[in-house]
Amino acid sequence: MNIITFAAAAALFLSQLAALAGPVEDLVAKGDVFDRKFNATEALKYYIPAEKLSPSDARILVMIARQYRHLMTDAPANEEKLRLGAIALTYSARAAALAPTDSEAQLAIAITHGKMLAYLGNKEKAAASPIIKASADKALALDPKNDTAWYILGRWHRALADIGSVKRAMSSLLYGKLPTTTNAAAVACFEQAIKINPNRLMFYVELGRTYGQMGQKEEARRFIEKALAMPDMEKDDPEAKQRGREALESYK
Looking at residue 150, what is its pLDDT?
98
CATH number at residue 229: 1.25.40.10
The CA–CA distances, whole Å, from 44 to 17, 26, 62, 76, 223 equal 23, 14, 12, 20, 35
Q: Are residues 96 and 160 in the same domain?
A: no
**Angstrom distance (rounded) from CA 51 to CA 110:** 22
CB within 8 A of 48, min separation 6: which ones? 64
Per-residue pLDDT tens for 217-242? Answer: 999 999 999 999 999 999 999 999 99
Does some domain include residue 5? yes
**Angstrom distance (rounded) from CA 44 to CA 26:** 14
* Mean per-residue pLDDT over the chain, rounded: 89
Per-residue pLDDT tens for 204-221? Answer: 999 999 999 999 999 999
Looking at residue 162, what is its pLDDT?
83
Give 252 or 195, the one with higher predicted confidence. Answer: 195
Residues 61 and 98 sit within 8 Å (Cβ to Cβ): yes
Name the amino acid, one letter, at 220.
A
Domain boundary among the residues 122, 152, 185 is at 122
> What is the domain count for the chain?
2
- Sorting pLDDT into bands at 50, 70 and 90, what band is 16? very low
Per-residue pLDDT tens for 67-78? Answer: 999 999 999 999
**Angstrom distance (rounded) from CA 115 to CA 135:** 14
Does some domain include residue 203? yes
Looking at residue 13, what is its pLDDT?
45
Q: Are residues 187 and 118 in the same domain?
A: no
169 pLDDT more than 50: no
Domain that holds residue 60: 1-122
Q: Are residues 172 and 60 in the same domain?
A: no
Residues 126 and 178 sit within 8 Å (Cβ to Cβ): yes
Per-residue pLDDT tens for 126-144? Answer: 899 999 999 999 999 999 9
Q: Are residues 7 and 116 in the same domain?
A: yes
- Sorting pLDDT into bands at 50, 70 and 90, what band is 39? very high
Per-residue pLDDT tens for 1-10? Answer: 454 565 555 5
Q: Are residues 155 and 203 in the same domain?
A: yes
Q: Are residues 38 and 96 in the same domain?
A: yes
Residues 107 and 146 sit within 8 Å (Cβ to Cβ): yes
Q: Are residues 111 and 165 in the same domain?
A: no
Alpha helices in 143-182 (DSSP H): 147-161, 165-175
Q: What beta strand segments (E) does 86-169 contain?
A: none
**Angstrom distance (rounded) from CA 210 to CA 154:** 9
Looking at residue 139, what is its pLDDT?
98
Looking at residue 177, what is its pLDDT?
61
**Angstrom distance (rounded) from CA 161 to CA 141:** 23
**Angstrom distance (rounded) from CA 37 to CA 49:** 19
Q: Are residues 99 and 195 in the same domain?
A: no
Does some domain include residue 135? no
> Could you tell me how many helices (H) and strands (E) the chain has, helices first?
12, 0
The CA–CA distances, whole Å, from 219 to 17, 18, 40, 156 equal 56, 55, 36, 20
